[in-house]
Chains A and B, each alone.
Chain A
Amino acid sequence: MDMPNQTFIEIIINDLPEKIPAGLSVQALLTHLEERDPHVIIELNGRYVYAKDYATTLLNPGDQIELINPDFGG
């Protein structure tokens, strides 16, 4: 739940602008978005982000993030 007086930043998520609480990491964003795919791939400002770095990668205003759900069928 959003807190009163909480500050927000605008980032681009999958080509769409979205306001999110300031100070979120990639991991926290996934929780915020209720992303349930444990294999989701993240590209941040054109760079691939390793899953092990999700918790320590912080989001800044104007960031462009892409969430890609990988495909494993054959």
Chain B
Amino acid sequence: MPETLSPDEKDRYRRQLQMPEIGEDGQRRLKAATVAIAGIGGLGGLCAYYMAAAGVGHLRLADMDQVAIHNLNRQLLYASGDIGRAKTVCARDRLKALNPLCRTETFQMRVDDESVAALLEGCDLVIDGTDNLTSRRVLNRAAWKRRIPFIYGGVNGFNGMMAAFIPGRTACLECVFPDTGAPEPPPSGIIGPTAGVIAALQSIQALKQLTLQDSAGSGGLIHFRGLDLRFKKITVDRDPACRVCSST
């Protein structure tokens, strides 16, 4: 069983401890959890903030970029004074200020087949904060191999998508987006609240998975359209011919 909670922790997380779905057992699971967040931008930064606030004990933060002024319309973890600083370092400082009980490790790196092993080593869950399909496929393969839930999120303008890919229970990312050799789409426009909606959904799924574990619903593929405020849930079955998950 995970570690016990101190009186300070019981006070800090009081509103979560009140929830029957979480309670003290769930909070202790959060405290014992290690979560990797790949990409600390619009999605990953907000997810990191939610994870630290909720009491996840250990966060691994990976990004290779420095804060730029054009990030600040949506990457709310950063401020104007952070421009030019490494996102991982700024994120670590901000999360420390929010919750000193949360231990953070920073990985100044691009996600690829070589670097991903260190990031995911010993993790309970990985959250997608990347901005390209190539990195997502790397994360998906690595997460599936290690039997770690992978919480995908993506945004574009007013729209966004989210899915929890859970080894042994759901389809994987490649079932939905098989590698056909098609080129990556170019960077798109984005408003902050769209990233907020999708990051919140990713964070809910992550917290459910960490606390409720096998009884947490996977939820399918969620598509959000901001212009008409519509959510759509798409049920995706595992592809028996998927080259990533069909053999595991």
Q: Interface residues, chain A, CB within 8 Å of chain B?
A: 37-39, 41, 43, 46-48, 50-52, 66, 68-74
**What total count of A-B pairs have CB within 8 Å?**
75
Of the residues B43, B156, B178, contact of A52 by C-beta under 8 Å: B178
Q: How many Å lie between the Cα of A50 and that of B171 in the bound state?
A: 12
Q: Interface residues, chain B, CB within 8 Å of chain A?
A: 39, 41-44, 128-133, 136, 153-156, 159-161, 175-178, 180, 182-185, 187-188, 190, 221, 223, 232, 234-237, 239, 241
Contact, CB under 8 Å: B241 / A68: no
B-side contacts of A72, CB under 8 Å: 131-133, 136, 154, 156, 184-185, 188
Among A38, A46, A47, A73, find the residue whose CB has the most chain B CB atoms closer than 10 A. A73
Q: How many Å lie between the Cα of A39 and that of B186 in the bound state?
A: 13
Among B41, B43, B180, B234, find the residue whose CB has the most chain A CB atoms closer than 10 A. B234
Q: How many Å lie between the Cα of A10 and that of B18 in the bound state?
A: 53
Q: How many Å lie between the Cα of A70 and that of B128 in the bound state?
A: 15
Q: How many Å lie between the Cα of A52 and that of B187 in the bound state?
A: 26
- In order of increasing CB-CB distance, the 3 nearest A-B pairs are A38-B182, A74-B131, A71-B156
Q: How many whole Å from A64's CB to the nearest CB in chain B? A: 12
Among A38, A48, A69, find the residue whose CB has the most chain B CB atoms closer than 10 A. A48
Given A73-B131, A74-B130 in contact, is the A39-B177 Cβ separation under 8 Å?
yes
Of the residues B44, B155, B182, B235, contact of A48 by C-beta under 8 Å: B235
Contact, CB under 8 Å: A74 / B43: yes
Q: List 16 A-B contacts (CB under 8 A).
A: A37-B185, A38-B183, A39-B177, A39-B185, A48-B176, A48-B237, A50-B239, A51-B180, A69-B159, A71-B161, A71-B188, A72-B132, A72-B154, A73-B156, A74-B41, A74-B44
A-side contacts of B133, CB under 8 Å: 39, 72
Closest to B154 in A: A71
Among A46, A52, A69, A71, find the residue whose CB has the most chain B CB atoms closer than 10 A. A71
Q: How many Å lie between the Cα of A37 and that of B159 in the bound state?
A: 15
Q: How many Å lie between the Cα of A37 and that of B177 in the bound state?
A: 12
Q: How many whole Å from A54's CB to the nearest CB in chain B? A: 11
Q: How many whole Å from A21's CB to the nearest CB in chain B? A: 26
B-side contacts of A73, CB under 8 Å: 42, 131, 154-156, 187-188, 190
Q: How many Å lie between the Cα of A46 and that of B233 in the bound state?
A: 10
Of the residues B155, B178, B183, B232, contact of A51 by C-beta under 8 Å: B178
B-side contacts of A43, CB under 8 Å: 234
